[in-house]
Chains A and B, each alone.
Chain A
Amino acid sequence: RKEVEQDPGPFNVPEGATVAFNCTYSNSASQSFFWYRQDCRKEPKLLMSVYSSGNEDGRFTAQLNRASQYISLLIRDSKLSDSATYLCAVNRNTGNQFYFGTGTSLTVIP
């Protein structure tokens, strides 16, 4: 079973739409969770950390469900500039490598 799984998409949504991505992780000992954004042929850039209580940053909301072992990312009022691949990353408490999902591709259409 893969450490981290994501629906690769693609998600094609109109401007202004709300879109949600989920990411499941297999190891219950996982400790830290992150969403990264990756533009084509660029490095992953941190979008937000995911805390147990959930957190919000402007149009972006991240949530963690430990019982079901998934994290989610909600994007409200999608902008054209949100078009990118969204990667979830998970870190266990026994090591310091990040396990990345394959990424979910989002295209926001005018």
Chain B
Amino acid sequence: EPEVTQTPSHQVTQMGQEVILRCVPISNHLYFYWYRQILGQKVEFLVSFYNNEISEKSEIFDDQFSVERPDGSNFTLKIRSTKLEDSAMYFCASSQTSVETQYFGPGTRLLVL
């Protein structure tokens, strides 16, 4: 069964550093998403991406964040100048259409020290 993959599984970084989280969505999916989940809290939407551009973003997704689809398979989330409060699990998801089921990757656990 096809699945979303994410790398790395864990990332530890110093405050102020840049991190890039990588995702490979399911191959025939057209919509890609990033969510985050702070420990003990709910899953929160960050951004959605379709046709090589951002289609929707939340208030959390400020200028510190950017997304890119650098090639035909990868989808990345870049966090510039990380802050302590960026520590969370970051999930990538993909779907075939904008209203169908979103399938989640295993997540990257980011710890900012």
State the A residues within 8 Å of B (CB).
Answer: 31-32, 34, 38, 41-46, 49, 87, 89, 91, 93, 95-103
A42 CB, min distance to chain B CBs, angstroms: 7
Contact B45 A34 (CB under 8 A): no
Indicate with 1 or 0, residue by residue over B39-82, a CB within 8 angstroms of chain A CB atoms: 00111110010100001101000000000000000000000000
State the B residues within 8 Å of A (CB).
Answer: 31, 33, 35, 41-45, 48, 50, 55-56, 58, 89, 91, 95, 98-107, 109
Please give me the residue from chain A that is nearest to B4 by CB atom: A43
Residues of the A chain whose Cβ atoms lie less than 8 Å from the Cβ of B55:
95-96
Once A34-B101, A41-B89 are accepted as A-B contacts, the answer to whether A100 and B42 lie under 8 Å apart by CB is: yes
Q: Tell me the number of A-to-B contacts counted with CB atoms below 8 Å.
A: 60
B50 CB, min distance to chain A CBs, angstroms: 7
Please give me the residue from chain B that is nearest to A97 by CB atom: B45
Residues of the B chain whose Cβ atoms lie less than 8 Å from the Cβ of A45:
104
Residues of the B chain whose Cβ atoms lie less than 8 Å from the Cβ of A46:
101, 103
Residues of the A chain whose Cβ atoms lie less than 8 Å from the Cβ of B56:
95-97
Q: Which of A43, A49, A97 contacts B105 (CB 8 A)?
A: A43
Residues of the A chain whose Cβ atoms lie less than 8 Å from the Cβ of B91:
43-44
Residues of the B chain whose Cβ atoms lie less than 8 Å from the Cβ of A43:
91, 104-107
